[in-house]
């Protein structure tokens, strides 16, 4: 009991050390505080989701760290915008009131509304956890909040994950659809959308779910969940060799002793056995299908610009019409650490069903080191482009040799 009181007093003092200086320096409007609270809540929820995915092996360490950095960057940006808009002014009286109120209200509130008996030995075992009904109520509140803030793409993604965790996969797919409209090149959103959509359709990946998986892999060829789903989709379609290719990539990204890796190893062995035992199809009199038109080549970074790029910077490799059209035809990506990198681009990486690589007479390949992590060119990015080539050319050399002004 005495230890608890001492610790409570210490925490109250620490809280006041954080609360009082801002009150003495400046004030922020109530709307800003509400927005910060909401950002804090969303940050904690999304960070917990990311850690859970990493723990169960569904996300590699590099992907986890990148996702955390993106999340922190967004929260800091929004917090900075709110702070910049806040008026400033002294609140000495408010500081005095807070200094007296925090310890008093916290102590009385805990004594009347809390669980003082929890300080007794063994009492923590009896503290109740939120039941399923409470969790569902929280998710419903989030759904209602998203109806009022439909442009919050991250909020839609969070709602999709929450609904999927509750087993409401059809509604989860609806939430992910909203997120995907606002984040069309986010591999995490696209892969989660494909997963929810497939589960809602009896775990079948053909059709739209596989299209979403291909878009996710075009945005991030090393995306663990998208690779796993791609393998599952190919396996369902009877393309066992293709399934094995995807699953080998997944295993290379997983900790070898994880439960997911052990399960996937068994599936990989089955796919390899079925692929090796498959008999050639009987002649049908029809001409064999043409292979996908594709560009093959190598992208590298000019040594003169090496100091301007970090190893973790994203490198986008994009095929565009040589006639100057702005719509990308196909796209893949890697990181600076992987350069020089052998790339391939074909119709399976198409950004739009109406604009395919194979339908072009000439194309150019643009390689861009993006400082923002987005494929759209921005000032400060590093870039290089090829000469016009046929969409089936091989041996292309693209050197990133200039800075975007």
**Residue 12 binned pLDDT confidence (cut-offs 50, 70, 90):** low
Classify residue 183: in a domain, yes or no: no
CA distance 102 to 8: 11
Q: How many domains does the chain have?
A: 1
Q: Give the total residue count for the chain.
A: 405
Classify residue 114: in a domain, yes or no: no
CA distance 344 to 164: 34
Classify residue 163: in a domain, yes or no: no
CATH of the domain at 311: 2.60.40
The residue with tokens 């002004």 is: 405
Token pair recorded at residue 323:
């006639």
The three-class DSSP label of residue 155 is helix
Give the number of other Cβ atoms within 10 Å of residue 370's Cβ. Answer: 20
Classify residue 20: in a domain, yes or no: no
Classify residue 382: in a domain, yes or no: yes
Classify residue 361: in a domain, yes or no: yes
pTM: 0.44
The residue with tokens 């990493």 is: 54
Q: What is the mean pLDDT of residues 216-242?
A: 91
Classify residue 377: in a domain, yes or no: yes
**Residue 285 binned pLDDT confidence (cut-offs 50, 70, 90):** low
> Does pLDDT of 365 surpass 80?
yes
Classify residue 110: in a domain, yes or no: no
> Does pLDDT of 103 surpass 80?
no
Q: Residue 321 carries which DSSP code? A: E
Range of the domain at 363: 294-403
> How would you classify residue 203: left for phi > 0, otherwise alpha for psi between -120 and 50, otherwise beta?
left
* Half-sphere exposure in the Cβ direction for 387 (13 Å, CA): 5
């Amino acid at each position: 009991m005495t230890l608890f009181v001492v610790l409570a007093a210490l925490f109250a003092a620490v809280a006041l050390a954080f609360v009082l200086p801002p009150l003495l320096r400046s004030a922020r409007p109530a709307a800003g505080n509400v927005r910060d609270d909401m950002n804090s809540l969303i940050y904690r929820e999304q960070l917990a989701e990311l850690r859970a995915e990493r723990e169960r092996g569904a996300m590699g360490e590099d992907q986890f760290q990148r996702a955390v950095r993106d999340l922190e960057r967004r929260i800091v940006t929004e917090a900075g915008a709110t702070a910049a808009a806040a008026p400033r002014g002294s609140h000495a009286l408010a500081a005095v009131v807070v200094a007296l109120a925090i310890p008093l209200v916290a102590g009385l509130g805990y004594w009347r509304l809390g669980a003082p008996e929890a300080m007794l030995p063994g009492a923590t075992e009896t503290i109740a956890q939120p039941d399923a009904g409470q969790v569902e109520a929280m998710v419903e509140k989030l759904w209602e909040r998203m109806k009022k803030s439909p442009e919050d793409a991250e909020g839609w993604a969070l709602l999709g994950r929450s609904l999927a965790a509750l087993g409401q996969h059809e509604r989860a797919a609806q939430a992910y659809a909203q997120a995907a409209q606002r984040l069309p090149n986010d591999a995490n959103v696209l892969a989660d959308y494909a997963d929810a959509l497939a589960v809602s359709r009896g775990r079948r990946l053909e059709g739209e779910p596989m299209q979403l998986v291909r878009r996710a892999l075009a945005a991030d060829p090393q995306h663990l969940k998208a690779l796993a789903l791609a393998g599952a989709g190919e396996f369902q379609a009877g393309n066992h060799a293709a399934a094995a290719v995807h699953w080998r990539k997944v295993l290379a990204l997983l900790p070898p002793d994880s439960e997911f890796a052990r399960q996937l190893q068994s599936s990989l062995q089955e796919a390899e056995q079925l692929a090796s035992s498959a008999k050639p199809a009987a002649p049908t009199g029809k001409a064999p299908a043409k292979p996908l038109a594709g560009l093959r080549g190598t992208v590298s970074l000019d040594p003169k610009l090496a100091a301007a790029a970090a190893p973790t910077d994203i490198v986008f490799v994009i095929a565009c019409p040589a006639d100057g059209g702005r719509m990308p035809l196909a796209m893949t990506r890697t990181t600076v650490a992987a350069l020089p990198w052998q790339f391939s681009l074909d119709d399976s990486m198409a950004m739009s069903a109406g604009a395919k690589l194979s339908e072009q007479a000439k194309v150019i390949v643009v390689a861009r080191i993006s400082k923002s992590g987005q494929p759209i060119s921005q000032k400060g990015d590093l870039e290089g482009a090829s000469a016009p080539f046929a969409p089936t050319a091989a041996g292309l050399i693209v050197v990133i040799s200039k800075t975007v002004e």
